[in-house]
Amino acid sequence: MVIISATEFDPGAHLNSFMDASQNAGAIASFIGRVRGEHNEVESLYLESYADVTERGIENAESEARARWPLIDVLVIHRIGTMRSGDPIVLVATASEHRRSAFEACDFLMDYLKTEAIFWKKQTTKSGSEWVEPRAADYQDNKRWS
Amino acid sequence: MVIISATEFDPGAHLNSFMDASQNAGAIASFIGRVRGEHNEVESLYLESYADVTERGIENAESEARARWPLIDVLVIHRIGTMRSGDPIVLVATASEHRRSAFEACDFLMDYLKTEAIFWKKQTTKSGSEWVEPRAADYQDNKRWS
Amino acid sequence: MVKILYFGRLSDRTQCREETIDLPDDICTINALKTWLGQRHDLGDALNLESIKTMINQELVHGNESIANAQEIGFLPPVGGG
Amino acid sequence: MVKILYFGRLSDRTQCREETIDLPDDICTINALKTWLGQRHDLGDALNLESIKTMINQELVHGNESIANAQEIGFLPPVGGG
């Protein structure tokens, strides 16, 4: 399931619901990305998506993950709108019978979200606002799967 | 932090507390292992530890993870006692500034817990009880770090 | 009438995130549209950079496609979430 | 008096998880203890398998160590949690 959320979400509560829904999964891997303090310089982060296009893209990545690994369930929640330091941006959870599949699929989906998912990110610090694009390291990580 | 728990624990709630305690971490990876249904054959799982020895072993693994990766915080919760299908057995959460460190450290700690941590696991099915030892695949996974 | 969407840093340049325009009859390909919009918003070559992707009706296009059947055209700078 | 701990499948064999024993004076090394406990609980060579690890006072030992200063001795079959 893919959720693009314009309001703050509770990662622990979503993870618990996800676990409840896939009782046969012995292994649940998850990743939470959130607005870092960067030594408290970041005042806010704004994320923009392209409506259905963004959602369809993530759904395709989910399908690809399911084709590569034996997954029981997948959850992706991604924030848009304005966030502050400490707010969750993204939660990816993968449920599988075995831990290696769960870890790898979670890692794979995060790489997609960091480099290919259709989001634009604007960061506001004391010195102003700027659009942030993926780091070279993110592109490098993503190449591991091709 | 390492917690050996003789009673059921709430993974989502612990993960949220863990996040609250490490506000500077932009990346939180986690893994939850729980009692699988195995087509509903497993009636219960019993886990035994060697008191402080088990805890010290996990604390050493945590120290090793912190030496290998730049981690902001680590949480390991491991159940002992009797569990039923669907109950969480283990939660490992790692907080870092960057996602690759968080993922790798979480994976590393799970490998330790699966193959070296001092636990004994007894599985009860309709056909009786037996002690379960790590699978060959678990030992193989663990070798990746040496 | 066609809806034009500007994402990320492009909307800072155009001062708008979307606009619905009745295009002149002679603007019938992506390249012609980019030039026309570039003048309209004083964008320089911002739309012509290789890093800007174009979607017609929410599908990625690569060359100088016709916009005859376009209801929605999006201009997308490099993306990245998480 | 020394406390002996049997973990995992060993406790199925001994029918107890721990016992505190006043050992005979001539039982003063790990190997002698294993033989003595093997007979006491009818364990065959269960304690002598290479896969069984031994801890004296919660520290792993490898050879035929003295148990002169042992307060606690644990016998550990292959471990695995998660």
The whole-angstrom separation of Cα A58 and Cα A51 is 12
Residue C19 lies in a domain: yes
Distances in Å between the alpha carbon of A20 and those of A103, B34, B80, D82? 19, 11, 21, 19
Which tokens sit at C64? 């100088």
Point out the residue among A19, A33, A99 whose CB comes nearest to the CB of B26.
A33
The whole-angstrom separation of Cα B117 and Cα C21 is 66
Q: Which residues in B lie closer than 8 A to residue D79 (C-beta atoms)?
A: 115-120, 133-134
Residue B139 lies in a domain: no
Residue C51 lies in a domain: yes
The whole-angstrom separation of Cα A115 and Cα B11 is 29
Q: Which residues in B lie closer than 8 A to residue A145 (C-beta atoms)?
A: none
**B98: containing domain:** 2-132
Residue C44 lies in a domain: yes
Residue A145 lies in a domain: no
Neighbour subunits, C (≥3 Cβ pairs < 8 A): A
H-type helices in A46-135, by residue range? 51-68, 99-115
Residue C82 lies in a domain: no
Q: What is the pLDDT of residue A36?
A: 82
Residue D71 lies in a domain: yes
What CATH number has the domain bearing residue C69?
Answer: 3.10.20.30
Q: Which residues in D lie closer than 8 A to residue B116 (C-beta atoms)?
A: 79
Asked if A31's CB is within 8 angstroms of B30's CB, the reply is: yes
Q: What is the pLDDT of residue B133?
A: 78
pLDDT of B39 over the 70 cut: no
- pLDDT tens-digit profile of C17-40? 999 999 999 999 999 999 999 999
Cβ proximity of C16 and C56 under 8 Å: no
The residue written with tokens 């699988």 in the block is B36
Neighbour subunits, A (≥3 Cβ pairs < 8 A): B, C
Question: At B132, is the pLDDT very low, low, confident or very high (cuts 50, 70, 90)?
Answer: confident
Q: What is the largest CA-CA distance in chain A?
A: 50
Q: What is the pLDDT of residue D71?
A: 97
Interacting residues of C49 by C-beta distance below 8 A, sequence separation 6+: none
Residue C81 lies in a domain: no
**D70: containing domain:** 2-76
Q: Which residues in A lie closer than 8 A to residue B35 (C-beta atoms)?
A: 26
What CA dihedral angle connects A132, A137, A139 and A143, to 10 degrees?
Answer: -170
Residue B74 lies in a domain: yes
Tell me the ipTM for this assembly: 0.89
Q: What is the pLDDT of residue A144?
A: 82
- Tell how far CA B25 is from the center of its chain: 20
How many distinct structural domains can be found in chain A?
Answer: 1
pLDDT of B38 over the 70 cut: no
Question: At B47, is the pLDDT very low, low, confident or very high (cuts 50, 70, 90)?
Answer: very high
- pLDDT tens-digit profile of B50-106? 989 999 999 999 999 999 999 999 999 999 999 998 999 999 999 999 999 999 999
Asked if C9's CB is within 8 angstroms of A120's CB, the reply is: yes
Q: Rounded to a whole number, what is the distance in Å from the CA of A93 to chain C's nearest CA?
A: 14
Beta bridge partners of C20: C3
Point out the residue among D55, D58, D80 whose CB comes nearest to the CB of B134.
D80
pLDDT of C76 over the 90 cut: yes
Q: Which residues of C touch A (CB under 8 A)?
A: 5, 7-9, 12, 55, 58, 74, 76-82
Residue D81 lies in a domain: no
Residue A139 lies in a domain: no
- Point out the residues of chain A with pLDDT beneath 70: 37-40
Quote the Cα angle for B6-B10-B14, to 5°: 105
Which tokens sit at D25? 């004076």
Q: What is the pLDDT of residue A96?
A: 96
Residue C45 lies in a domain: yes
Residue A65 lies in a domain: yes
Q: What is the pLDDT of residue C82?
A: 67
What CATH number has the domain bearing residue B108?
Answer: 3.90.1170.40
- Point out the residues of chain D with pLDDT beneath 50: none
Paired sense of beta strands D2-6 and D72-76, if any: parallel
CB atoms within 10 A of CB C51: 8
The whole-angstrom separation of Cα A22 and Cα A3 is 18
Q: Which residues in D lie closer than 8 A to residue B136 (C-beta atoms)?
A: none
Residue B42 lies in a domain: yes
Asked if B12's CB is within 8 angstroms of A25's CB, the reply is: no
Residue B46 lies in a domain: yes
How many distinct structural domains can be found in chain C?
Answer: 1
